[in-house]
Amino acid sequence: MQTDRIIGISLLIVGVALLVAGVNASESVSSEFSKLFQGVPSDKAIWLMIGGALVAAIGLAKSLRGRTAHG
């Protein structure tokens, strides 16, 4: 259905935006301090990237499933 593809594409766009926000957050000053002392980016950066990847994957699957199922 066309609505499923629109929702899927919207989720894909939101997921990519969250990924970009996560990458930007991982390069912030607070994240750099976290990397310096703990060896990993800040929790906020990690959750933004994980959430973005999940939302983007769901959006991609939903948009492709709608496309293949209906032509």
Tens digits of residue pLDDT in 29-62: 877 777 778 888 888 888 999 999 999 999 999 9
pLDDT number for residue 2? 86
| Contact in structure between 54 and 15 (CB atoms under 8 Å) | yes
Nearest Cα to Cα of residue 4 among 70, 61, 63, 69: 63
**Quick one: what percent of the chain has pLDDT higher than 70?**
90
3-class DSSP state of 70: coil
The model's pTM: 0.78
* pLDDT exceeds 60 at position 70: no
